[in-house]
Amino acid sequence: MTSIDMPWYLQFIIVAFLLFGALVALIGSWGLAKLPDFYTRLHGPTKASTLGVGCTLIGSLLYFSLQQEGISVQEALVTIFLFATAPVSAHMMGKAALRRRLKGVPGTRNMPER
Amino acid sequence: MISSFRTRQFWLPRPLFSLFLALLWLAMVNDVSVAHALLGLGLGVAIPFTTHAFWPEEAKIKRPLPLLRYLLVLLVDILRSNLVVALRILRPARYLQPGFFVYPLTLDDDFAITILASTISLTPGTVSLHYDAEANTLLVHALHLEDEEEAIATIRERYEQPLEEIFR
């Protein structure tokens, strides 16, 4: 057991960030499972997960900055790398799907004919 | 682009980028000491030196202030888009109206287009899928597409015009 010595309101803020992040990540994963076709599923990991991970990292940043001496900046780096790489992977997966002519869900507007 | 052995271009193609890499290294090891500063600087020189043959032409950031404003707008929009997409996921799928649209670009700088495409992927309900270099268009998929014209106008106003201002 590690002892946590910080005021209750700081603990409360950190827990709130962690829980909110976990909730958003859960919704994102739920979307990945239930959205109707490949193209709509692309939206889950690029967005809902960035906020989920972002909130978790803010919680981690606050906790380690308050527990240890000095602020910890590694979490900020993780966020930057995440924001820089998530769109690229989504773009590549989407391109592969287009190349393989995956069908969209019925009712998709302007499905590209290629 | 071939430059001779004696010039700065050859050994240190982008000094600011080298400095950025060194600072990034220090932040990553979370430890500011002379040894790590030297190692970071070494990496900052070595990485651009070995990879700069693969880089596109240098993009010129003309105005840093609009860039800062752009990043702030982007941060707020990422927050908003996350919430919007989360709500759409929770609602039953029959309310969704996914669709594709073609976005005609007015930017012509590769780096600026890359940033715009990433921005589109990070913001409300849209993912950029394909860049057509000949027609200079982006194919975009929207999770919920009601009005194409409106979606295109929003992207143009909110992201493309500020980017034009930054890279002009």
CA of B121: how far to CAs of A44, A48, B126, in Å?
11, 12, 6
pLDDT of residue B116: 86
**Which segments in chain A show pLDDT lower than 50?**
1
CB contact under 8 A, B28 and A74: yes
Residue B17 vs residues B46, B112, B119: alpha-carbon distances, Å: 11, 17, 22
β-sheet bridge partners, residue B100: B141
Asked if pLDDT for residue B156 goes beyond 60, the answer is: yes
Same domain, yes or no: B77 and B116: yes
Query: Taking a contact as any Cβ pair under 8 Å apart, which residues of chain A between 44 and 103 contact chain B?
Result: 44, 46-48, 50-51, 72-74, 76-77, 83-84, 86-88, 90-91, 94-95, 97-98
Given this model, what pLDDT does residue A19 score? 93
> How far apart are alpha carbons B149 and A24 in whole angstroms?
30
Give pTM, 2 decimals: 0.76
How far apart, in Å, are the Cα atoms of A88 and each of A10, B36, B103, B120? 36, 31, 18, 11
Same domain, B69 and B47: no
State mean pLDDT over B70-98.
81
Say whether A95 and B129 touch across the interface (CB within 8 A): yes
Q: Which of B54, B72, B90 finishes a domain?
A: B54
Find residues 35-54 of chain B whose CB sits inside 8 Å of chain A: none
Nearest Cα to Cα of residue B83 among A53, A40, A91, A28 = A28
B47 and B17 assigned to the same domain: yes
At A16 the pLDDT is 92
- ipTM for the whole predicted complex goes beyond 0.90: no
B118 and B72 belong to one structural domain: yes
Q: Does residue B1 lie within any of the structural domains?
A: no
Interface test with B, best of A17, A20, A43, A64 (most B CBs within 10 A): A43
Q: Which domain holds residue B36?
A: 8-54
A65-84 pLDDT, tens digit per residue, is: 887 766 777 777 887 888 78
Check pLDDT > 60 for residue B166. Answer: yes
- Residue B2 placed within a domain: no
For chain B, the domain total comes to: 2
Residues B74, B133: one domain?
Answer: yes
For B114, the token pair is 């890359």
Computed over every residue of chain B, the mean pLDDT equals 79
